[in-house]
Amino acid sequence: MSNIEALKSEIVETVKAANDIDTLEEVRVSALGKKGKVTGLMQTLGTLSPEQRREMGQALNRLKDEITAEIEARAGTLRSAALNARLEKEKVDVTLSSRPQGRGTIHPISQTIEEMITIFADMGFAVAEGPEIEDDFHNFTALNFPPEHPARQMHDTFYFPDAPAKEGDAAKRLLRTHTSTVQVHTMQSQKPPIRVIIPGRTFRSDYDMTHTPMFHQMEGLLIDKTTHMGHLKGCLIEFCKRFFEVDELPTRFRPSFFPFTEPSAEMDIGCSRAGGELKIGAGKDWLEILGCGMVHPNVLKNCGIDPDEYQGFAFGMGIERVAMLKYGIPDLRTFFESDLRWLKHYGFGPMEQPNAALS
Ligand code: DAH
């Protein structure tokens, strides 16, 4: 028995002497591993008389438990010491002054959204938001897209795989293809007068120089009793002048078609492309920048608003598109590549005001 005691104190000594986890593991293997000292003793049990075997067996099991407990205690001490050493080494001094060379930038999309909100907020618009995962009702049906209408296909919709196969099923889940869905949510939850803008992500299955599967839109919706097309034009012309920072801006509204507006129009702004350089506000060329129109009476009805009492206008534009025009960014895909050089070049400093706020 006394040699078990001796073995125990010998092993416990080596456990205590182990100064890192690897050494401790070696100690464990040399005591309790397949060829370890304790295991070796266990293997001699067969040579003993039954009486001795029981006594020795119990003693060896106890020894094993005690050694395991010692090793675990030591491992706990070593691990917390290692963690403390690491925390000490990796400590960040938050009182250090900032390093301007490593400064992050505001993404042009965030900057553009801020600028747009600043201008529309000045005109009395509030910001509204809605879900990116939508259903067929909010994305299409409530917005007066008839079932089987070709405009549904034009949207290159991402449908969820759990969706039932039938097109036009109100509950069919999808990623919203436009922010016009939030017109529906807003009209369902607020009473007119309504005056909101809706910035947000939208999704379509398309990818090239001018299309990415995820992009941003800014929607606008105004519902009141006497709102007319003149208000729509005045509001959008004023917005474009402030956004592009030009006092004189030729504009034109071309007749167009959207299922949710009647009449519908597309707005163009004047520009020049002389010498390969795009200049907004001067010249004989035109740039299409948004879709708009008077909200279709069916849409008002679908959202619980009486079209005999209320009317209004809506508009929608691509945020990347206007950012590209304003800041001279040639390729849409670069917005989402997270290339640090691009972000440094086109990004904005955190202390920079949206310039529209200054005018
Ligand atoms: N939802 C349209 C699109 O994604 C854009 C649009 C056009 C929105 C006209 C409107 C509108 O609110 O009146 O192509």
Higher pLDDT, 148 or 309: 309
For the chain, what is the largest distance between any 2 Cα atoms, rounded to a whole number of angstroms? 110
Helix (DSSP H) and strand (DSSP E) numbers for the chain: 12, 10
Residue 283 has a pLDDT of 84
From CA 222, how far away is CA 11, in angstroms rounded?
A: 82
Q: Is 198 in the pocket of ligand 1 (CB under 6 A)?
A: no
> Is the pLDDT score of 233 beyond 90?
yes
HSE on the CB side for 4, CA within 13 Å? 17
Of residues 110, 114, 158, 109, the one with CA closest to residue 136? 158
Q: Is 120 in the pocket of ligand 1 (CB under 6 A)?
A: no
What's the pTM value of the predicted model, to 2 decimals?
0.72
DSSP E strands in 164-260: the ranges are 173-175, 194-203, 214-224, 251-258
Higher pLDDT, 121 or 156: 121
**pLDDT (mean) for 43-59:** 90
CB 165 within 8 A of CB 127: no
> Is the pLDDT score of 78 beyond 90?
yes
DSSP 3-state of 48: coil
Q: For ligand 1, atom 3, which residue shows the shortest CA distance?
A: 178
The neighbour count for residue 234, using CB atoms within 10 Å, is 11
> Is the pLDDT score of 330 beyond 70?
yes
From CA 359, how far away is CA 356, in angstroms rounded?
A: 6
Helix, strand, coil percentages (3-state) for the chain, rounded to 5, are: 45, 20, 35
- The token pair at 304 is 């619980």
Q: Is 314 in the pocket of ligand 1 (CB under 6 A)?
A: yes
From CA 231, how far away is CA 234, in angstroms rounded?
A: 5
The atom number, within ligand 1, closest to the CA of 219 reads 12
Q: pLDDT tens digit string along 269-316?
A: 999 988 888 889 888 899 999 999 999 999 999 999 999 999 999 999
Q: Is 258 in the pocket of ligand 1 (CB under 6 A)?
A: yes
Q: How confident is the model at residue 165 (pLDDT cuts 50, 70, 90)?
A: low
Q: For ligand 1, atom 12, which residue shows the shortest CA distance?
A: 315
Integer angstrom CA distances of residue 103 from 106, 340, 350, 351:
10, 11, 9, 12
From CA 280, how far away is CA 274, in angstroms rounded?
A: 11
The atom number, within ligand 1, closest to the CA of 313 reads 13
Q: Is 261 in the pocket of ligand 1 (CB under 6 A)?
A: yes
Q: Is 316 in the pocket of ligand 1 (CB under 6 A)?
A: yes
Residue 318 has a pLDDT of 96
Give the distance (Å) from ligand 1 centre to CA of residue 331: 22
Q: pLDDT tens digit string along 126-141?
A: 999 999 999 999 999 9
Higher pLDDT, 149 or 199: 199
Mean residue pLDDT across the chain: 91
Give the distance (Å) from ligand 1 centre to CA of residue 31: 75
> Is the pLDDT score of 16 beyond 90?
yes
From CA 120, how far away is CA 282, in angstroms rounded?
A: 24
> Is the pLDDT score of 359 beyond 80?
no
**Residue to mutate, 180, 181, 229, ligand 1, most ligand atoms under 8 Å from C-beta:** 180
**Residue to mutate, 178, 231, 313, ligand 1, most ligand atoms under 8 Å from C-beta:** 178
| Domains contained in the chain, CATH given | 2-89 (1.20.58), 108-346 (3.30.930.10)
- The token pair at 288 is 């299409």
